[in-house]
């Protein structure tokens, strides 16, 4: 009988007015004590409170400062290199455009990178079959080491106003390429796409709807 009475009283107390709160045991607030516990808490949070996109953003932000550049770079094996003496004829241009990349390291006679070719520049120029890659290369090549963090990479992008870095190892050997877009994606946990092209027109900007 004692147990039945206790259960009944608990229901009664739970149903009476808030003045009875002082007789109830206070609820202990949960405070994550480690990053792992915080991740577990985020995982258990209902979808109506935290969407999958928001979870991704939080997760990306938590690991952004610790991840190395080598984790997100385009490895050397997948890069398209051009020699400074290569002719920019139809076959070469077709190869570059079909690669899907926007930046191509240009290698000199010594085997070292002497600059970069950008497809955007090649589109805007009247190139002849007899023109060599060295004629159009951009000599401003910025480097970052493969074990530098993504936070260091973001700081370097902002410092140099560059959109890409050649990734090297401790012996200065090129091992990959990393772009500003990739680092931003890792920071936000998602791709940032926007086809708006009216940034030079104040009227278009003023009338534009806010993205949701």
How far is CA 43 from each of CA 117, 125, 189, rounded to the nearest angstrom? Answer: 44, 52, 16
Task: Give the per-residue pLDDT at 83.
Answer: 93
Q: How far apart are CA 32 and CA 62, in angstroms?
A: 14
pLDDT band for position 9 (cuts 50, 70, 90): very low
Task: Give the per-residue pLDDT at 18.
Answer: 54
- Hey, CA dihedral for 50, 56, 58, 62, is it positive or negative? positive
Closest C-alpha among 174, 189, 209 to residue 64: 189
Judge whether residue 2 has pLDDT over 60.
Answer: no
Task: Give the per-residue pLDDT at 22.
Answer: 55
Strand segments, DSSP code E, in the chain are 74-75, 82-83, 103-107, 113-118, 143-145, 164-168, 174-179
With tokens 């949070």, the residue in question is 45
Ramachandran region, residue 141 (left: φ > 0; alpha: ψ -120 to 50; beta: rest) = beta
Predicted structure pTM score = 0.67
Query: Which residues is 167 bridged to in the sheet?
Result: 144, 176
How far is CA 131 from each of CA 92, 99, 127, 201, rounded to the nearest angstrom? Answer: 11, 20, 7, 37
Digit-coded pLDDT (tens) for 23-37: 555 566 777 777 677
Digit-coded pLDDT (tens) for 43-87: 777 777 777 777 777 776 777 778 899 999 999 999 889 999 999
Answer with the residue of higher pLDDT: 211 or 142.
142
Return all residues near 59 (Cβ < 8 A) that are at least 6 apart.
39, 42, 189
Task: Give the per-residue pLDDT at 130.
Answer: 83
Q: How far apart are CA 204 and CA 79, in angstroms?
A: 38
Q: How far apart are CA 61 and CA 72, in angstroms?
A: 15
Task: Give the per-residue pLDDT at 178.
Answer: 94
Task: Give the per-residue pLDDT at 16.
Answer: 46
Q: How far apart are CA 84 and CA 128, in angstroms?
A: 15
Task: Give the per-residue pLDDT at 197.
Answer: 85
């Amino acid at each position: 009988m004692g147990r039945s009475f206790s259960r009944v009283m608990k229901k009664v107390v739970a149903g009476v007015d808030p003045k009875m709160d002082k007789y109830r045991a206070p609820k202990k607030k949960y405070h994550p004590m480690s990053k792992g516990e915080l991740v577990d808490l985020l995982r258990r949070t209902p979808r109506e409170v935290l969407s999958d996109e928001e979870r991704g953003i939080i997760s990306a932000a938590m690991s952004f400062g610790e991840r190395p550049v080598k984790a997100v770079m385009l490895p050397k094996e997948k890069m398209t290199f051009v020699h400074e003496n290569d002719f920019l004829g139809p076959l070469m241009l077709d190869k570059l455009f079909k690669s899907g990349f926007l930046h191509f390291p240009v290698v000199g006679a010594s085997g070292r990178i002497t600059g970069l070719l950008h497809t955007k520049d090649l589109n805007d120029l009247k190139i002849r079959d007899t023109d060599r890659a060295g004629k159009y290369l951009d000599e401003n090549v910025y480097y970052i080491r493969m074990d530098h963090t993504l936070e260091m990479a973001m700081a370097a992008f902002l410092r140099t106003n560059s959109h890409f870095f050649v990734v090297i190892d401790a012996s200065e050997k090129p091992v990959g390429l990393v772009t500003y877009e990739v680092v931003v994606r890792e920071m936000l946990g998602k791709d940032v796409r926007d086809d708006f092209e009216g940034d030079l027109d104040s009227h278009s900007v003023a009338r534009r709807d806010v993205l949701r």
